Chain A
């Protein structure tokens, strides 16, 4: 029997894949080899000029990349710890379990840009309620205008917004764990702490790795929070790679150069996330 016609059924999916994934990447690569900007629109060919500029004459890109690394790793670690704690809490038989499960998901369901505007209002240093309340204790942190504190403000907003996602994945993992190891630990008289360290955490390791990688991928694209909260400032202290690429591409209209940064960034992210996934697997699964 000839099954060649089965390939016919692959075409719709293949077309979609080419249209929304392959073509844009190819176009970005081609764009990165052009000098497309506001005064010179079009796909001319300038070779590797944009890449040479990026690697030899643009420290701001690399600064923004290292800043992004700090922000994304910090936020994901915090999200993991808080998300795991919350998931563990509502996994147990506690009162109003269902209510808390829904409550903890609310931040994720809100629109990030709208929520960031609200956070910006909260942290407004002369009109916002946060400093108003803190003034009772005689402190008034410069949430958005101090280069160091502003980074932590971004972290606070990101953690608030995306911890529920981590919570959701980890809760689903906890609910799918087999009951037998826990029964065995109970029979052996293991304390709750030992049960967590020797049973729950190891069993959750594969799910944890998946959750951390998914969140790292998302966190490395952080843009809307920075855009609304600080515009990358004060100075360049909260500027991340995606925000910087946005500035170069859609503010300054250096489309060719922005494409070269985007493609370089994509390659760096693929390599670094692959390494991180390998390391996590080795450490957490002890492979």
Chain B
């Protein structure tokens, strides 16, 4: 009887959100869709803590991506616990150094530092491990295996999971699935209009739909919105385009480097082909598109300006928000693949279809080892990602909070709480879930001095996009720089750290 009652209540929680409006959602409208969700760090539990007279200092990203939810949950945390929370907002490119400078000087001006999960190797010695009581919480048990691994090093969790990211393709469903458009495209190009499965198809379609008003809103639309601005995560966009050509499931042992020799693969023909495609893409992005950062990309695709986009979830979620002009007109699909893939062992192209998901991981956050309010800091992070906050954050594209819990892949969450079309919700969760299951995934570098490596990629690829160098010249320059960095850091140190990522890519971990 009790089980039956629980099941009925749970069903009501999922399928009838408004039924869960409670005293907490009255005070905190952010969680109005679900009300408070019971858990170790729920609103109810947090309200019983007393941190009056204590101050929590947080360094987070600029508003809105991750910066806005940090500030919002800080305000809620203050109201619930009596703590004072000071939030500092920092541009993405400076998050690393803003924490590293005081870390290395033995200071802790921030109790909590936000960054990217691939900083873990450099940051871990300055961060406090996540205490057991949080590790054993039901919320933590719900985190996917990939994201538990992402937040941990050698079995110790240093980064509290608050986000889960991966790159995938977003497209305008109302165009791609439109029979009239399909007919027109076929008549003009002789090809089928469908969700692109290769980057070449992506380019052809993007070029065709570039620079004319194909949705009848009186404005010109364009082919693709991509993160191309130098130093603004553009390296991740480049890797997303590279995995199809350069991640060969038959040649384990390293995507970025050959693990045995630590020779960079970054200038092999697979990567060069991807960069050549990317240079071509400058012709079908909106005006100024080669200076688009992540925020521009989200605004451009989310605002209905382009046919395609690929990167983190944010642009998709922005497009599916209630205030979006293209709500329920977009689709999600895996990143395009390629009809050939480079074999770095035989030094030749294999003419067969290849697709590889790029698990970019995501935002990461840790508590400084030298913080004097570690308990409060972990409570804040636990509160940040509690059930109610997490579901509400997922629904707001600009927040940059994306699925990282197993329960996030239930399409009903998006259908019932966010008003998504069931077909879109199903394709979205299936796309994400399939990436988790893939055996050909690529994970980002997690090696010492990671910022030097990614900065070199950003510089090289941006030179190619600007026409300063050819793709081959640009990537040769990157490879030379990577070799120099490996030399400076120490081959063994980079190799040991890289081996952990390779094990994950080769499905041995």
Contacts and interface: CB of A to CB of B under 8 A. Distances in A.
A230 B230 CA distance: 8
B280 interface: no
B438 interface: no
Nearest to B222: A126
A35 B452 CA distance: 14
Interface size class of A (residues with CB under 8 A): 35 or more
Interface string B449-490: 101100100010011111111000000000000001000110
Contact of B449 (A38, A145, A147, A231): A38
A235 B465 contact: yes
A140 interface: yes
A147 B469 CA distance: 12
A235 B451 CA distance: 18
Given A126-B286, A234-B230, A253 B451 contact: yes
28 contacts: A36-B104, A37-B489, A38-B100, A38-B448, A39-B122, A60-B459, A125-B286, A125-B291, A126-B286, A126-B287, A127-B288, A142-B287, A144-B288, A231-B230, A232-B230, A233-B231, A233-B291, A233-B462, A234-B291, A234-B466, A235-B230, A237-B466, A247-B231, A251-B96, A251-B97, A251-B451, A252-B455, A253-B451
A235 B122 contact: no
B449 A237 contact: no
Nearest to A234: B466
Closest 8 CB pairs of A and B: A125-B288, A235-B466, A234-B466, A125-B287, A233-B230, A39-B448, A41-B104, A126-B287
Contacts of A262: none
A270 to B, nearest CB: 27
Interface string B422-464: 0000000000000000000000000011011001000100111
Interface in A49-98: 57, 60
User: How would you classify the secondary structure of chain B's contact residues: helix, strand, loop or mixed?
Assistant: helix
Interface in A102-161: 124-128, 131, 140, 142-145, 147
Contacts of B101: 250
A264 interface: no
Nearest to B464: A235
A66 to B, nearest CB: 15
Interface in A221-260: 230-237, 247, 249-254
Contacts of B290: 145, 234
Contact of A231 (B231, B451, B465): B231
User: How would you classify the secondary structure of chain A's contact residues: helix, strand, loop or mixed?
Assistant: loop
B122 A124 contact: no
Interface of A: 35-42, 57, 60, 124-128, 131, 140, 142-145, 147, 230-237, 247, 249-254
A60 B288 CA distance: 25
A147 B229 contact: no
B287 A231 contact: no
A281 B356 CA distance: 65
B94 interface: yes
A151 B96 CA distance: 28
B93 interface: yes
Given A233-B230, A251-B94, A252-B449, 7 more contacts: A124-B288, A125-B286, A143-B288, A144-B288, A231-B231, A234-B466, A235-B463
Contacts of B135: none
Nearest to A42: B104
Interface of B: 93-94, 96-97, 100-101, 104, 122, 229-232, 286-291, 305, 448-449, 451-452, 455, 459, 462-469, 484, 488-489, 493
A156 B30 CA distance: 44
A251 B287 contact: no
A274 to B, nearest CB: 33
Contacts of B488: 35, 37
Contacts of A144: 288, 291
B96 A231 contact: no
A252 B291 CA distance: 21
A231 B229 contact: yes
Contact of A236 (B229, B452, B463, B484): B463
A250 B466 contact: no
B449 A37 contact: yes
A74 B47 CA distance: 61
A91 B449 CA distance: 57
A140 B287 CA distance: 9
Given A126-B286, A126-B288, A236-B468, A250 B94 contact: yes
Given A39-B489, A231-B230, A253-B97, A237 B287 contact: no
Contacts of A230: 291
Contact of A147 (B286, B305, B448, B468): B468
A35 B488 CA distance: 9
B288 A145 contact: yes
Nearest to A143: B288
Contacts of A249: 97
Contacts of B305: 126
Contacts of B467: 147, 235
Contact of B465 (A39, A142, A234): A234
B452 A252 contact: yes
A60 B493 CA distance: 27
A124 B291 CA distance: 9
A258 to B, nearest CB: 11
A126 B94 CA distance: 27
A38 B126 CA distance: 12
Most buried by A among B94, B97, B291: B291
A149 B227 CA distance: 21
Contacts of B493: 39
Contacts of B289: 126, 145
A38 B449 CA distance: 6
Given A41-B104, A131-B287, A233 B455 contact: no
A60 B467 CA distance: 16
A250 B93 CA distance: 9
B364 to A, nearest CB: 16
Contact of B97 (A42, A233, A235, A250): A250
Contacts of B100: 38, 253
Given A38-B449, A252-B455, A233 B287 contact: no
A247 B231 CA distance: 9
